[in-house]
Chain A
Amino acid sequence: MSLANLKTEQEPVLQHPPDLGLGEEESYLRMITKRFFKHRLAVVGLVIFTIITLMAILAPWISPRDPYEITGDFAAEPSAEYWLGTDQVGRDIASRLIYASRVSLAVGIGAVAIYVVIGTILGAIAGYFGKWVDMCIMRLTDVFMAFPYLMVILVLVSIMGPSLYNIIIVLGLLGWPGIARIVRGSVLSIKEMDYVKAGITLGYSTPKIVFQHILPNCLAPILVNATFGIASAIIMEASLSFLGMGVQPPTASWGNMLTEAQSLTVLSTQLWLWIPPGLMILLAVLSINFMGDGLRDAMDPKSLR
């Protein structure tokens, strides 16, 4: 007992390890948040993305009109009554733009959610078990990566019938190889760590070790990849809708609103028909990519500052 007391007296020096730049943050999460907010572009991205998200959530309340209502004015120029003008069937573009943000976010988040789950599970299993399991899963990933992406999506969507849900599902089912590879890589390195071995010696079961001990440590790359994934899913939806294989009218999506800009007259004289949806896609994707960049820098352990 006296021994323990003795040690307690000797220890205080060790209680406060030198400040390694980790500062006073209580946790890893807070440290990342702090670093993220130091990244200017990321904050700009976050603000824009928040605005778009709010727009999507509050669409029924903030849009000036019903997006499906056909007014008397066809292809009217922007005015006090129609903020961004009307389209060729006479629907209010501002309202359609606001409602379309719902579609884009749903596709972005929905598809990424699906493929992050698939990719993470497959990657973790491949990385942890190795050998033939790894071999099989990784060859499957290679096969998926070898697909001409846009073509396969077009074919699948046309078989399943173009709709919002089908797009989400198809994008979700095809997007996982990237995440799977990243997770596999992280798991491969993390499973060699002493704390994983310690976990095994403490008697934890394999699923517990893989999903509760190893995966939380690969969260950073998954999160960064998912962020960029949302941006590319939004672009993918826009392209599909532009090609007529995406969200079907009268539902508004930024992509199918752009479809109307296929004629030269519209392109040159009716700018309000295609510049706003184009800008929205640009803004959404840019803001998400900025956030992704910020997140990546914030989570990079090498940028300890």
Chain B
Amino acid sequence: MENNLLEVDKLQVAFRTDKGEVVSVDEVTFQLKQGETIGIVGESGCGKSVTSLSIMRLLGRTGLIKKGAISFNGRELTQLEEAQMREIRGNEISMIFQEPMTSLNPVFSIGNQMLELIHLHMKMSKSEARAYAIEMLKKVGIPRAEQIIDEYPHKLSGGMRQRVMIAMALSCKPRLLIADEPTTALDVTIQAQILELMKKLRQESQTAIMIISHDLGIIAEMADKVLVMYAGQVVEEADVFTLFDDPKHPYTVGLMESIPHLEHDSQQKLFSIPGTVPHLHAMPKGCRFHQRCQHATEQCVTQKPPLLTIQGSNGHRVRCWLYQEEEQVVSGYGQNEVIA
């Protein structure tokens, strides 16, 4: 129980650009146990995908992990050779992408692509591998799998292709599945089916899942615990129930308020958080959210808030000065403004 499958510790990722080095993800720390699902939310450009790519060590030539450690199943991923990393990719950690329409190679049949993968990571004869591929396709709910396996990707719809991608990602029985916006490009009914499928497969195989999304609905549906990221930092971390019942960080609160609800008056304007994410080159000195925060104080402008654990909670952490003292958690925002 205590063994974490994945431990990310104070991860810092930087990219080299023309204007010098830019830190894209800073001080990201989280743990993931076998069979657990973690959701990462945040708006575009806040480092969600970079975090997942750095676990896979796929930051490209310009990106590098500057600080921190990523320990997977007892191995330190940041220290591994490229060849060792290749054995982990697809085999122990696999990934599904946002765009199922372009994630399959158009010139090879579904079967070709699946068999290639199975050959690479598993010891199986040709006929066994084919039977296994068909079995995997059936498992993800593809009808007529025996025929579909010989089809080319352009014959399949987006939902079907995403199923094939999931079948491929899961065929080597990975311990960790990273799903980067797995349903964003799909329409709503297919989204629900894919999410149901992922839940079912998670139950069967005890795979840990890291799901990245900007859709709080999906996170609420899938995740056990949630990281809210803003401008490359984790601003709030909690289990999914706590987060939705009692969001603490003004950014999380803002995110929740900007979800449209059916009960909303049709005349009512949907809430939106003013402003945009600060540019990576010009990160504010204090709290990175202070320019957009209604509750910002002098302290927020000048001092970087640490990730504070809320007293009496089970691992609910928030990066906000509003919660620096326990009694202020109770008494709300008012006092802070007095201090300011």
Is there an interface contact between B97 and A198, defined as CB atoms closer than 8 Å? Answer: yes
Is there an interface contact between B103 and A195, defined as CB atoms closer than 8 Å? Answer: yes
What is the CA–CA distance of A194 and B117 in the complex, to the nearest angstrom? 16
Known contacts being A10-B193, A14-B159, A28-B152, is A193 close to B102, with CB within 8 Å? yes
Let me know if A40 is at the binding interface, CB within 8 A: no
Residue in chain B with minimal CB distance to A130 = B61
Residue in chain B with minimal CB distance to A11 = B143
Known contacts being A3-B200, A197-B97, A216-B107, is A203 close to B102, with CB within 8 Å? no
Let me know if A79 is at the binding interface, CB within 8 A: no
Is there an interface contact between A4 and B141, defined as CB atoms closer than 8 Å? Answer: yes
Known contacts being A22-B154, A202-B90, is A15 close to B105, with CB within 8 Å? no
Residue in chain B with minimal CB distance to A205 = B86
What is the CA–CA distance of A45 and B61 in the complex, to the nearest angstrom? 47
Let me know if A204 is at the binding interface, CB within 8 A: yes
Chain A contact surface mostly: helix
- Chain A contact patch, size range: 20 to 34
Let me know if A27 is at the binding interface, CB within 8 A: yes
Let me know if B168 is at the binding interface, CB within 8 A: yes
Is there an interface contact between A14 and B160, defined as CB atoms closer than 8 Å? Answer: yes
Q: Which of B99, B144, B193 meets A194, CB within 8 Å?
A: B99
Let me know if A201 is at the binding interface, CB within 8 A: yes
Question: A7 contacts which chain B residues (CB < 8 A)?
Answer: 141, 193, 196-197
Let me know if B56 is at the binding interface, CB within 8 A: yes
Q: Which of A11, A12, A216 meets B141, CB within 8 Å?
A: A11
Is there an interface contact between A17 and B86, defined as CB atoms closer than 8 Å? Answer: no
Let me know if A263 is at the binding interface, CB within 8 A: no
What is the CA–CA distance of A127 and B187 in the complex, to the nearest angstrom? 35
Is there an interface contact between B196 and A3, defined as CB atoms closer than 8 Å? Answer: yes
Q: Which of A12, A14, A27, A200 meets B89, CB within 8 Å?
A: A200
What is the minimal beta-carbon distance from B209 to any residue of chain A, in angstroms? 15
Question: B61 contacts which chain A residues (CB < 8 A)?
Answer: 130-131
Let me know if B88 is at the binding interface, CB within 8 A: yes
Residue in chain A with minimal CB distance to B159 = A14
Contact with A along B192-224 (1 / 0, CB 8 A): 010011001000000000000000000000000
Let me know if A65 is at the binding interface, CB within 8 A: no
Is there an interface contact between B144 and A203, defined as CB atoms closer than 8 Å? Answer: no
Let me know if A269 is at the binding interface, CB within 8 A: no
What is the minimal beta-carbon distance from B272 to any residue of chain A, in angstroms? 30
What is the minimal beta-carbon distance from B114 to any residue of chain A, in angstroms? 10
Is there an interface contact between A28 and B107, defined as CB atoms closer than 8 Å? Answer: yes
Let me know if A268 is at the binding interface, CB within 8 A: no
Residue in chain B with minimal CB distance to A196 = B105
Let me know if A158 is at the binding interface, CB within 8 A: no
Let me know if B121 is at the binding interface, CB within 8 A: yes
Output the residue of B91, B104, B121, B157 with the most chain A CB within 10 A: B157
What is the CA–CA distance of A28 and B109 in the complex, to the nearest angstrom? 11
Question: B144 contacts which chain A residues (CB < 8 A)?
Answer: 15
Let me know if A213 is at the binding interface, CB within 8 A: yes
**Which A14-49 residues sit within 8 Å CB-CB of chain B?**
14-15, 17, 22, 27-28
Q: Which of A12, A200, A202, A217 meets B107, CB within 8 Å?
A: A217
**Which A182-207 residues sit within 8 Å CB-CB of chain B?**
193-195, 197-205
Is there an interface contact between A8 and B141, defined as CB atoms closer than 8 Å? Answer: yes
What is the CA–CA distance of A7 and B91 in the complex, to the nearest angstrom? 27
Q: Which of B117, B139, B196 meets A202, CB within 8 Å?
A: B117
Contact with A along B263-291 (1 / 0, CB 8 A): 00000000000000000000000000000
Question: A203 contacts which chain B residues (CB < 8 A)?
Answer: 86-91, 120-121
Contact with A along B155-195 (1 / 0, CB 8 A): 11101100001001100000000000000000000000100
What is the minimal beta-carbon distance from A77 to any residue of chain B, in angstroms? 56
User: A: which residues have CB within 8 A of B?
Assistant: 3-4, 7-8, 10-12, 14-15, 17, 22, 27-28, 130-131, 193-195, 197-205, 213, 216-217, 219
What are 23 contact pairs spanning A and B, CB under 8 A?
A: A3-B200, A4-B139, A11-B141, A11-B143, A11-B160, A14-B157, A14-B159, A17-B155, A17-B157, A194-B97, A194-B98, A195-B103, A197-B97, A199-B105, A200-B89, A201-B89, A202-B89, A202-B168, A203-B86, A203-B87, A203-B88, A203-B90, A216-B105
Top 5 A-B pairs, shortest CB-CB distance: A203-B90, A202-B90, A203-B89, A7-B141, A201-B95
